[in-house]
């Protein structure tokens, strides 16, 4: 095998690997959507938490039953 054939073979293999990685990464990134959560702030302690873990009373969200019972904290 001559040197030009070896160089051509290396270019073809390198191009194939590059194309495979490019299309393989594109397909995996589109199928996996990042998990996003709506965040709310506790009216008592101002801690942010996912809405599905929070408890709502009226317009206010709370992080626990204790803070729900205590109500909103007065802001300074």
Instruction: Answer with the residue of higher pLDDT: 34 or 2.
Output: 2
Residue 40: what are its φ and ψ, rounded to 5°?
-125, 160
Residue 5 confidence (pLDDT): 94
pTM of the predicted structure, to 2 decimals:
0.53
Band the pLDDT of 74: cuts 50, 70, 90.
Answer: confident
Q: Where are the domains of the chain?
A: 1-34, 39-70
Please give the distance of CA 53 from its chain centroid, rounded to a whole number: 18
- Rounded Cα gap, residues 47 and 36, in angstroms: 18
How many H helices and E strands in the chain?
2, 4
Surface-to-core class of residue 40, CB atoms within 10 Å of its CB (0-12 exposed, 13-18 middle, 19+ buried): buried
């Amino acid at each position: 095998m001559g040197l030009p054939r070896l160089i051509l073979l290396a270019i073809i293999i390198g191009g194939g690997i590059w194309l495979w990685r490019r299309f393989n990464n594109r397909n995996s990134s589109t199928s996996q959507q990042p998990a996003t959560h709506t965040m709310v702030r506790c009216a008592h302690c101002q801690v942010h938490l996912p809405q599905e873990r929070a408890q709502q009373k009226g317009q206010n969200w709370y992080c626990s039953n204790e803070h729900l019972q205590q109500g909103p904290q007065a802001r300074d």
